[in-house]
Amino acid sequence: MDDLGDEMHEECGVFGVYSQENRNVAHTVYFGLYALQHRGQESAGIAVSFADKIFYHKAMGLVPEVFAGNKLDGLPEGDIAVGHVRYSTTGASQLLNAQPVVFTGKCGKMALAHNGNLTNTKQLRDEMLSANAVFQTTIDSEVMAVMINSLSDGDVLKGVMRACPRFKGSYALVIMTTDKLIAVRDSYGIRPLCLGTVVDDYVVASESCALDAVSANFLRDVEPGEIVVIDGEGLHSYKMEGIPEKSGMCIFEYVYFARHDSVLDGCSVYDARYSAGRLLARNYGVEADIVSGVPDSANVAARGYAEESGIPFVEALAKNRYVGRTFIQPDQRQRENSLSVKMNAMRANVSGKRIVLIDDSIVRGTTMRKIIKMLREAGAEEVHVRICSPIIKHPCHLGIDIQTYSQLIGAYKDEEQIAESLGADSVKYLSVEELLSSCSKSKRGFCLGCFNGEYPYPLNGETDKLKLE
């Protein structure tokens, strides 16, 4: 496992705006995507509706890189726009697969941006290929776009209503025609999606922090299985058929993916992480001199641990703010290089100290092993690791880049074995029940598949391989 990276990454972030008048909607989407940059760092794109046409720009790189120079100003003023930031889980990391997917079909000009991952992509693609459909990318998002178009009979809402129940897996969609903005959340609500307003404009985003970035007022979350249509007559809500009674939002949105200032399905991400830290101190405390978090996602939990335990919170690791998450690069060698310059131990703070080190999760163990070694070389006497989630024992096929059991240190080891492997003095994890308790204010149920193997969608077809590897 040492030759692998050690952080999971969720697939993408989506953003859309519907304005009552032509204006610089591309700029609104730009700032929304900037706030969602943590959800995808490989590519970015924006599409704008103007004069019955759709203009777009997308490229590889971070949001400010993609729209540097006059790229953003090169998009026209319009009344509808959608945007996307991507991290690939389905389809190679290349410009061809960047989103939004823009095409012309039975409903005229359309653009689609997707956050999530379908489990029946191959089946749907093969079915449409046999009906002479043509695909230009390798991503599941294009499969969704083509199927919506093929089932629409010229009515985009009809296409969405007919196609979405056939999609198995996770998806939060923003779809744009020349006169409508449509937001869709899968029937289990696995990926987050919310609505906001700015004066008379409507905004759709993966997280509420993106609404804040454009001064939008939070209206509500899109419900599991809901299709929201926004047009000149206002906002209209429709429901898919066969919505399950129990929803299954990915609980890792609270553990790691979402920004800590977001509120998802009624639960503050900050509060959930702070509560997780307090539970770790209450139930898995240890004598120590300082508490520290692995920056940045674990710092909130570390402060919760410090308050509950009475042990002072002290920064043990300095992070290079100009290096993104470890998987900012899809190539393994690039990931390792970015990790080596990502953080450094603060010798003056850790020398001679017994440290409680808080992190959100351990996937493969590579990064944590290097961090512990780094702290010991800086003079730390003891390093006790406390994790704000249960042991990850199973792969995910719903939009997280852990594809096989061989990638997971927790698939074959218990806490003592993990501690020995990492070189830690001790390792303790929250239980599933404790993690659920930290997110108890959420209005939804959760997907816990990576912890207990119970997914909203059973493993079948192309995902059977996950059981075998």
**Residues that are catalytic:** 12
CB atoms within 10 A of CB 106: 16
- Which residues, in sequence order, are bridge partners of residue 220? 195
Of 398, 412, 414, which Cα lies nearest the Cα of 463?
A: 398
Q: How far apart are the first and last CA of the chain?
A: 14
Nearest to 9 by CA among 40, 53, 55, 35: 40
For residues 201 and 27, the answer to whether their CB atoms sit within 8 Å is no
Looking at the DSSP bridge assignments, the partners of residue 83 are 15, 46
Q: Determine the longest span between alpha carbons in the chain, in angstroms.
A: 71
Question: Which tokens belong to 416?
Answer: 């003592």
The Cα 257–Cα 209 span in angstroms is: 13
Per the omega criterion (within 30 degrees of 0), is the bond before 100 cis? yes
**Phi (first) and psi of residue 21, to 5 degrees:** -150, 160
For residue 282, give the nearest of 261, 254, 301, 256 by alpha carbon. Answer: 301
| Angle made by CA atoms 458, 461, 465, in degrees to the nearest 5 | 85
What sections of 235-328 are H helices per DSSP? 252, 269-284, 299-309
